[in-house]
Structure 1
């Protein structure tokens, strides 16, 4: 192989090598652009997920708040029912005490029930006067 032929072979190899390097450079640029695109898509997806999670948390918070309000209402109703039942029992007991015939009781029972009857009558009188004043 002569000197000219050897130089030509080296030039071809160098140009082929530079073409290969150029192609590799182009491929690496394409790869970087692809990563940039996927990174942008990933960020957009993450932003969407964060937004959905915020909405979900807010809905859960609202649900818990509603459940708490419902529970408070239920407790208030239970309290009212308990007071009404207590008033009913007290009224029934007062009626029973007022219905006792003091003439047929023993003297000690007579004193006891008479005091209870007087207390009941005073309580009723104060309840009637209370709202009018």
Structure 2
């Protein structure tokens, strides 16, 4: 199962991708999302659309090149949203929100810090997940 892991071993968000499936509009990935930040840890099932992953990948490429700006993962369902914001010096703030259902029910807002050295592995993982 392909994995998209953003962050360190201590604070992170990860997406374990199951086999993709298509509908008439886009390709989807059934996903187990795991979040670990400070004293919080949780996981839930979600779906991510390919267009959201492609948009996120392009944003990450620019963030890695420029070390400033942002990359956003905003799937159609919006059960999980994620933003990586560069400070121009290599520091990156990862922030997001996770919902128990698509945009309703219980939710967790989170953030953690990382640096640009994590981005190449995230980009390589996205290359392996998104079909050519």
Under TM normalisation by the shorter chain, which class is it? Answer: under 0.3
Q: TM-score, normalised by structure 1?
A: 0.23
By percentage of residues, which structure has more strand?
2
In our comparison, the structure showing a higher alpha carbon Rg is 1
By percentage of residues, which structure has more helix?
1
Q: TM-score, normalised by structure 2?
A: 0.23
